[in-house]
Structure 1
Amino acid sequence: MADMDARLIAALRRDGRASLSQLAVDLGLSRATVRVRLTRLIESEEIAGFTVLTRADVAPHPVRGLMMLGIEGRGTERIRGALLRRADVASVHSTNGTWDLIVELGTETLEDFDAALFAIRRMEGVQRSETNLLLSTRRGGAG
């Protein structure tokens, strides 16, 4: 990917609603050039889609963590579905290696976090787990 395309994608990550004119000013390009590059990135599927973030998506819970799960037998899909229905689960990732699933959790208090861990560990098919609290987060792609 060309450096300018990477800069265009970074600008869209910062503000997905930026107009072509604003993107052109920010990138030092003409509006037509930005439109052509953006169209090419969409058509080549380098940009796979656009989405909306709600306030809840960007407001981190005070207590966050990653829970790695080892699943017994063939229950991974069932457990993934149950996890995704929980309000304290932000996302569930499949992975290779020692763990079958990695769960991103977010709660308001440590007590709530502990209760979530306890409930997840009690799910039928969860064989073992390891949990790490997230202390801080840095995000990339900002330029």
Structure 2
Amino acid sequence: MALDDLDQKLITELRHDGRLSISDLAKTLGVSRATLRSRLERLISSGEILGFSVVLKEDRHELPVCATMLMAIEGKRANSVIHQLYGMPEAQSIHTTNGRWDLVVELGAADLAAFDAILGRIRMLEGVSATETSLLLVTHKRTSSNLRQF
């Protein structure tokens, strides 16, 4: 499905605040409520928008222990592994990739003990055949999403 300018603007607004009402979104984007509702329903039914999520206050603070985990997945279990990772707040981002590794997961933990615990939980997931993890020592540049304060 090709996304036009209005679709892109709608998605951008929802990424900034997924709680905006249809009325507020329509007003911001300069379209009628009926147009906006139709667009939103089309984006959801086509699978362009898979769902809405909640950003918790605890997710916004910087976790002192950060790492990148490369994961190899057995067979066709990537979707199952990704689904399980979604439920782990320590998995801050999940990326599919090509080459030797199937997934790249950015991890965050409060301390080394919590980091060790999440490594153990992830390595025990059914479908994970190998991992390689590197601690991130110093972040020289970070680009983050523009989350609005509530």
Both proteins in one fold, TM over 0.5 = yes
Q: Which has the larger radius of gyration?
A: 1
Provide closer, same or farther for how the CA distance between residues 16 and 66 of structure 1 changes in structure 2, counting only shifts above 3 A.
Answer: same
Aligned-partner residue type, residue 42 of structure 1: I
Aligned-partner residue type, residue 131 of structure 1: S
Provide closer, same or farther for how the CA distance between residues 9 and 32 of structure 1 changes in structure 2, counting only shifts above 3 A.
Answer: same
SS of the aligned residue for 1:60 comes to coil
User: d(CA) in 1 for partners of 2:30 and 2:37?
Assistant: 13
Aligned-partner residue type, residue 138 of structure 1: T
Shift of 1:48: 1.7
Percent identity for Structure 1 against Structure 2: 39
Aligned-partner residue type, residue 137 of structure 1: R
SS of the aligned residue for 2:106 comes to strand
Q: Is the 8 A contact 2:44 2:50 kept in 1?
A: yes
Q: Which residue is 1:54 aligned to?
A: 56
Superposition map of 1:8-47 within 5 A: 8-47=10-49
Q: How many residues align?
A: 131
SS of the aligned residue for 2:18 comes to coil
Deviations 1:38-87 (A, max 9, x none): 1222222221222223223333313322122568xx5xx7xx69x95987
With normalisation by structure 2, the TM-score equals 0.61
Provide closer, same or farther for how the CA distance between residues 132 and 99 of structure 1 changes in structure 2, counting only shifts above 3 A.
Answer: farther
Q: Which residue is 2:143 aligned to?
A: 138
Q: Is the 8 A contact 1:70 1:98 kept in 2?
A: yes
Shift of 1:5: 0.7
Aligned-partner residue type, residue 116 of structure 2: A
One of 98, 110, 129 as aligned partner of 2:132? 129
Shift of 1:35: 1.5
User: d(CA) in 2 for partners of 1:32 and 1:46?
Assistant: 19
Runs of 5+ unmatched residues, structure 1: none
Superposition map of 1:65-104 within 5 A: 65-69=67-71, 88-90=90-92, 95-104=97-106
Provide closer, same or farther for how the CA distance between residues 2 and 88 of structure 1 changes in structure 2, counting only shifts above 3 A.
Answer: closer
Q: Is the 8 A contact 2:108 2:115 kept in 1?
A: no
SS of the aligned residue for 2:8 comes to helix
Provide closer, same or farther for how the CA distance between residues 116 and 9 of structure 1 changes in structure 2, counting only shifts above 3 A.
Answer: same
Shift of 1:27: 1.1
SS of the aligned residue for 2:54 comes to coil
Runs of 5+ unmatched residues, structure 2: none
Aligned CA RMSD, in angstroms, stands at 3.9
User: d(CA) in 2 for partners of 1:18 and 1:41?
Assistant: 16
